[in-house]
Amino acid sequence: MGLVIFMQIIQPSKLPLAKTLWLLAGFAFTHSISEWGYLFVPLQSVGSTNTLILLMTIHLSFMALSFAFFLAFGLAQYSSRKEVYLLLPSILLLIWYVNFIAFFDQIALLSWYTKCEIWGRYLLGFPGALLSGLGLWLVRPELSIWGPRIDRYLRDSSVTILIYSVLAGLIVPPGNFFPNTIINNQTFFNLFHVPVQLVRAVLSIFLSWYVFKLLSVFRLESRINLERIERLESIISERQRIANDIHDGAIQSIYGAGMLLDRASELIDSDHKRSKIVIDQVIFRLNETIDSLRRYILDLKSGDLCQQDVQQRFKQSIKQYCEVFPKLTIYDSLDLPIWFLSIPGAVDHTYFILQEAIANAAQHANCSQIHVKMLGNKHTLDIEISDNGIGISQDIIKNNSVSELHGNGLRSMEQRARQLSSKLNIKSDQAGTTLVIQIERRRLQLEKI
């Protein structure tokens, strides 16, 4: 029992009972050692007196110490103050030690040994077991929320300890003072024809079993904590995904609308009709953004669209950037495989990567041309987006700090590439920058299962 409890002690727990389990483990360890004294002390009764005294002292000391641990555990169920549940048992243990160990009678050795055991059980054993049993009964409402089985194990443990308090604390060796002249090992045997030591051993086995089962409450707590952590990670991941979707979708569309409005303001005096057309495009773009947000909220994903619809969506996005940046020419070659459309989220991730890549090139690369290639077959989809801009410093690429240059945009593309079970590769020089992503069908489908 002590080993099982000790293994639980090293596990973190917020349950109040966990803070005092070390006392119950201390009782289990020390009492198991003291029980061996009943075997070795009789064996040495015909040997050296000094050896016998040493064994008796060790046996009685561990017995009293184990009951002190038990008493401390019982008191801890009523008070969380260490000066209460540690100090009182220590004082009683010291009183017992001074009176019955330090001043032993070597002439009447057996009588001294019997008195030490009797008063150890009276002074420490009985109140310790009694308070522990009642204390576990009192914490039942606190732990009953973990289910009826935990409540049953707690009840059985409490009842077993209360019975043990009588058999181990009041049923003592025969002595010459009340109440052990009436209630002792011999009268118990005469009444029930069973040695009290055997009944104690059986109770100890039952108690160990009930405590072992009771400790399952901590396994339940750990499982619930793990589920909470998983839910929290899921929430954080979902929030990050929503943030990326809004950034790559709605924010980019609104940004594009803003660029169109700037274009319209430049044309409003010189070309009134053209500026009106641009404003109409802004209105159309904003309405489309609103519809996109509505579809997003209602979880109407693009995965239900056919191949032609998806490719048209991509081409429409490319066309909008050409309208926002009149000096920019975008060439596209799109052939998305059917298998790719059936994987949840794959089209959305690819669409947002396309938007972010074009937006970054148009805003930062000072380029005049962008080439978009999305070509697939039965096994892979190869995505390549290149521009003829000023490029990205090789030092930044080697130091893996691309995200620091363009902030949330490239970080978002890197994350979405990982969601597609792939990797964002960047090739850049003075002639421009190329982003390459290769999506493998088998790998993506396995990780989405």
The pLDDT assigned to 161 comes to: 93
Count the alpha carbons within 13 Å of 34 in the hemisphere toward its beta carbon: 20
The pLDDT assigned to 58 comes to: 86
The pLDDT assigned to 404 comes to: 45
The pLDDT assigned to 5 comes to: 66
The pLDDT assigned to 199 comes to: 92
Q: What is the mean pLDDT of residues 252-268?
A: 79
Q: In which band, very low, low, confident or very high, does the pLDDT at 401 lie, cut at 50, 70 and 90?
A: very low
**From CA 142, how far away is CA 24, in angstroms rounded?**
19
Q: What is the mean pLDDT of residues 223-248?
A: 75
Share of the chain above pLDDT 70, in %: 84
Three-state SS string across 187-248, please? Answer: HHHHHHCCCHHHHHHHHHHHHHHHHHHHCHHHHHHHHHHHHHHHHHHHHHHHHHHHHHHHHH
Residues 207 and 153 sit within 8 Å (Cβ to Cβ): no
Higher pLDDT, 273 or 361: 361
pLDDT at 290 over 80: no
The pLDDT assigned to 294 comes to: 66
**From CA 436, how far away is CA 439, in angstroms rounded?**
10
325-449 CATH pick, 1.25.40.340, 3.10.20.90, 3.30.565.10, 3.40.920.10: 3.30.565.10
The pLDDT assigned to 394 comes to: 64
The pLDDT assigned to 220 comes to: 78
Mean pLDDT across the chain: 81
41 DSSP assignment: H
pLDDT at 36 over 50: yes
pLDDT at 9 over 90: no
Helix 126-138 vs helix 148-169: crossing angle, to nearest 10:
170
Q: In which band, very low, low, confident or very high, does the pLDDT at 303 lie, cut at 50, 70 and 90?
A: very low
Q: What is the mean pLDDT of residues 198-225?
A: 83
The pLDDT assigned to 41 comes to: 59
Q: What is the mean pLDDT of residues 411-439?
A: 89
Domain residue ranges in the chain = 2-214, 325-449
**Could you count the other beta carbons within 10 Å of the beta carbon of residue 253?**
20
The pLDDT assigned to 134 comes to: 93
- Tell me which of 61-65, 162-166, 241-245, 327-331 is least confident: 241-245
pTM score > 0.75 for this model?
no
Q: Which residues pair with 182 in a beta bridge?
A: none
Q: What is the mean pLDDT of residues 366-390?
A: 92
- Tell me which of 50-64, 362-376, 391-405 is least confident: 391-405
Query: Tokens 């969601």 map to which residue?
Result: 419
pLDDT at 175 over 60: yes
- Tell me which of 35-49, 64-78, 113-127, 145-159 is least confident: 35-49
Share of the chain above pLDDT 90, in %: 23
Q: In which band, very low, low, confident or very high, does the pLDDT at 392 lie, cut at 50, 70 and 90?
A: confident
Query: Tokens 């495009």 map to which residue?
Result: 281
Cis peptide bond prior to 337, omega within 30° of 0 = no
Residues 443 and 421 sit within 8 Å (Cβ to Cβ): yes
pLDDT at 295 over 70: no
- Tell me which of 56-70, 349-363, 388-402 is least confident: 388-402
The pLDDT assigned to 114 comes to: 87
